[in-house]
Amino acid sequence: MTTIDHRLLQVRARIARACAQHGRDPAGVALLAVSKTMSPAAVREAVHAGQRAFGENYVQEGVDKIAALRALGCTGLQWHYIGALQSNKTRAVAEHFDWVHGIERLAIAQRLSAQRPPGLAPLQVCIQVNLDGGRNKAGVSAPEALALAQQLLELPRLRLRGLMCIPEPLPDFAAQCALFGQLRALLAQLQAAWPPGAAALDTLSMGMSADLEAAVASGSTLVRVGSAIFGPRA
């Protein structure tokens, strides 16, 4: 067993324990392995250990890695873009990724929709919400998220799946749960106002290596874990 194999088992065990403690089905919490700055060889190790969904923060690195993994014979993978996205990089993301987690501007979403190739499934997206209110943090406010969600309904090559957040580190479990609970409540508010017949809003992308237990306790459906799987980044 490789180091990455062992770490993946540990992370999956953490998710399973958190689910058991809070009455959740582990099948309802997806694991996204954040592979930014990691080599294609490291990602291949994770693939061989059964991991299929990977997250990248840098567009060109992600595009190159997708091609490298395909060349290594790793197929059936799901690629999530989770970094800040500039307008001059939207085409590459629209053409190569399956998900985008950080939608915070309608203009970026419009470009992604227009540039998504017709032969691919609609791009799955989440709106990034700034729960902390920090000026230097990406994401929209809660009222802005509700308005943006309605606008995304009009874009034919995107499918809004839910909300995501990247909060500042918090000192304890209770504080983490309180913050994550805000995103869960916002999603419930959005679901209540969602038009009948529209694709379901089913995703809360929240929780990372240091706070995944609190995220699972608070209803996360997707945790984004990097260092606990791949080790410290250079």
> For residues 98 and 125, is the Cβ–Cβ distance under 8 A?
no
Which DSSP symbol is given to 1?
A: -
Q: Which amino acid is at 78?
A: Q
pLDDT for 136 equals 58
Q: How far apart are CA 201 and CA 11, in angstroms?
A: 26
Q: How far apart are CA 157 and CA 153, in angstroms?
A: 10
**What's the pTM value of the predicted model, to 2 decimals?**
0.96
Q: How far apart are CA 29 and CA 219, in angstroms?
A: 9
- C-alpha angle 7/101/49, rounded to 5°? 25
pLDDT for 204 equals 98
Instruction: Using DSSP, state whether 124 is helix, strand or coil.
Output: strand
Instruction: Using DSSP, state whether 225 is helix, strand or coil.
Output: strand
Domain positions in the chain are: 3-226
pLDDT in tens, the chain (234 residues): 689 999 999 999 999 999 999 999 999 999 999 999 999 999 999 999 999 999 999 999 999 999 999 999 999 999 999 989 999 999 999 999 999 999 999 999 999 999 999 999 999 999 999 987 766 578 999 999 999 999 999 999 999 999 999 988 888 999 999 999 999 999 999 999 999 988 899 999 999 999 999 999 999 999 999 999 999 887
> For residues 3 and 42, is the Cβ–Cβ distance under 8 A?
no
Q: In the CATH scheme, what architecture does the domain 3-226 have?
A: Alpha-Beta Barrel (3.20)
